Amino acid sequence: NAGVTQTPKFRVLKTGQSMTLLCAQDMNHEYMYWYRQDPGMGLRLIHYSVGEGTTAKGEVPDGYNVSRLKKQNFLLGLESAAPSQTSVYFCASRSQVNTEAFFGQGTRLTVV
């Protein structure tokens, strides 16, 4: 049982480049989330989704877009990367009825 899988695990981008981070879960969870983790700041919510075809902004959405075309996948896009987006990105999923959120292993992104 894979749980939550993030692709890629590491990436280095140049300022202005674009990329997409993929999150896939095999637990049939309704809710999915994208967080970023920076030193001393904990995990901050970027965007989230309560179901296929729906997305909503979190605490720090600027510079990111998301899509959830399939229930099991949640994509995070950076259209024009900036050094301030250097961070570790975590995807998480949760079922409607349970409190526990399951996290992926993270994607370490460096923007130079």
Indicate whether 40 belongs to the interface with another protein (CB under 8 A): yes
CA distance 47 to 66: 7
Q: How far is the CB of 88 from another protein (least distance, A)?
A: 9
Task: Tell me which stretch binds another protein (CB under 8 A): 16-24, 30-38, 61-69, 71-79.
Answer: 30-38
Q: How far is the CB of 91 from another protein (least distance, A)?
A: 9
Which residue of 13, 25, 48, 85 would you call a contact of another protein, by CB under 8 A?
A: 48
CA distance 74 to 34: 8
Indicate whether 58 belongs to the interface with another protein (CB under 8 A): yes
Indicate whether 99 belongs to the interface with another protein (CB under 8 A): yes
CA distance 13 to 103: 24
Residue 61 identity (one-letter amino acid): P
Alpha-carbon distance values, 37 to 18, 60, 88 (Å): 20, 11, 5
